[in-house]
Amino acid sequence: MKRWVVVLLVALAVIVLVSPGIVGHLAEKNLKESLNWAESESEDFRVTEEAFDRGWFTAAGRHRIELKAGGLRAAVVEMVGLAGGADDGRVPALIVDTRIDHGLVPITSMSRKSGSLMPGLASAVSTMQLDAGDGEPIAIPGTLYSQVGLSGETVSHYLLEAGSFDDKETTAEWKGADVSMTADASSRSIEYGGVIEPFSIDSGGDSLRLGASEFEGNVEQTEFGFSVGSLSLNIDSLSVGKATGEATGFGMLSLDTESDLGDDRVNGKATMTVADLLLPGLGEIDMSMDLAVNGLDAQSIQTIVAAVQQAQGSNDVYAALAALYPRIERDVQKILSSGAEIRVDRLDISLPQGEVTTKFRFALPETEASAEFSWPALILALTASADIRVPVALMEMAQAANPQSGTLVAMGILKKDGDAYIVNAEYQKGLLTVNGAPMPIPLPTR
């Protein structure tokens, strides 16, 4: 019996005293792999390790996350007012300081908040600062707690307690946040979710008010280099005010999106509802939308996405985008000839003048792989439909602003039906029918 007690004590000593050094090395390796993966997921960000000091039981590191050169970086630099920042390297960056307690049983983590004896590679706590590019970092409230599991899976939990900020020029107040994320570098997937309580910012006469928000979703990297997944987002309200007196925002937003990959085809759908959307000159409107895309060729999307990202990273974005189509023309043709369907099942907009309702559908059958691409053949194979309803009051407003819009009524494209104008259009095999009247479409010759 004593022999087994000795064996048990030795095993515990190995786990508690010897394993931290070994596991610390594994945890550092896992952290670097995760950072490399996170950086590879975006063409716009660069992750730099500024320091990493690994001890036997604990480690400390600092990492800098900044925007790479390109259109997005230039836009952010201009937005925060860093004149010349795109040229001299002074760009906004996020600085993350992390303490890691490692070991199969991270006993040193118990000395801090949210410490845990749960077995794993590491237990970490991170704080963040925002460097606006002027060399004066600003502390970001809240703390990020992370657990690196034995399989390399990382579970992170960001907690923000209620607080406020006031430096005479800018005031901010927040009610708190609770956000979690699980990332697995081996399967290249992320699951996330959380709640952000209301917060507000006032600066120089401008203001931002965001109501309570909830979100959850997942992201999974595909073999084609892009990601699929889902997102569910609900925001109670948003209000943006300008010192000039202009204001925009909405009373409620609900968004659900989902995409997947099957048989090398991409499918996706999205539903969005916005209430009390305030637009200058239009007043408050409501909007609802349901759309779906099915059967897009994944290989072609991979090429197109890579070409667009490369163009966006160019120093001359506009010239790069102008030269983009010749590079992706064959892939665009492949997407079209491989067959696809695009549907807008609902696009309803409620205006003070009434409600505009819209439905669209475009479908292309798959053509023979050996067949030569032909635009006329593609147009003949297309089937499409559209149903649109526009209030009379809105149409009269459009005619007053642009009398030529009345031509649509004279041609029969817009047909009056009670208190609205309607469009019921069908297209098949080169014949367009609008409100029951056929309208042949001349097709180009090859």
Strand partners, 190: 183, 219
**Residue 333 φ/ψ, nearest 5 degrees:** -65, -40
344: helix, coil or strand?
A: strand
From first to last of its 446 residues, what are the pLDDT tens digits of the chain?
444 443 343 333 333 444 344 444 445 555 555 556 555 655 566 777 777 776 556 777 787 877 665 555 565 555 455 544 444 555 677 788 888 776 544 544 444 555 454 545 567 788 888 776 666 777 888 888 877 766 667 788 888 899 888 877 788 898 989 989 887 766 678 899 999 999 898 887 888 899 999 999 998 888 888 889 999 999 999 998 887 777 888 999 999 999 999 889 999 999 999 999 887 767 788 999 999 999 999 999 988 888 887 776 666 767 777 778 888 888 988 999 899 999 999 999 998 888 999 999 999 998 887 778 888 888 889 999 999 999 988 888 877 777 777 777 777 788 888 888 999 999 998 888 988 888 766 655 54
Buried (b) or exposed (e) across 309-320, using 16+ Cβ within 10 A? Answer: eebbbeeebeeb
**What are the distances in angstroms from CA 355 to CA 351, 386, 401?**
6, 17, 19
Where do runs of H (alpha helix) occur along 338-387? 375-381
**What are the distances in angstroms from CA 267 to CA 344, 439, 442?**
14, 33, 32
CA separation for the pair 305, 328 (Å, rounded):
10
Buried (b) or exposed (e) across 142-154, using 16+ Cβ within 10 A? Answer: bbbbbbbbeebbb
This prediction has a pTM of 0.75
CB 58 within 8 A of CB 108: yes
Of 64, 52, 136, 68, the closest CA to residue 102 belongs to 52
Dihedral sign for Cα 176, 64, 98, 179, please.
Answer: positive
**Residue 226 φ/ψ, nearest 5 degrees:** -120, 170
CB 63 within 8 A of CB 49: yes
Give the containing element (helix H, strand E) for 12. helix 2-13
Strand partners, 326: none
Residue 146 C-alpha from the chain's centroid: 23
Residue 30 C-alpha from the chain's centroid: 26
**The one-letter amino acid at 12:** L
Of 252, 317, 240, the closest CA to residue 280 belongs to 240
Please give the structure tokens belonging to residue 292. Answer: 């779906």
CA separation for the pair 120, 117 (Å, rounded):
9
Please give the structure tokens belonging to residue 105. Answer: 């049983």
Angle made by CA atoms 83, 85, 86, in degrees to the nearest 5: 120
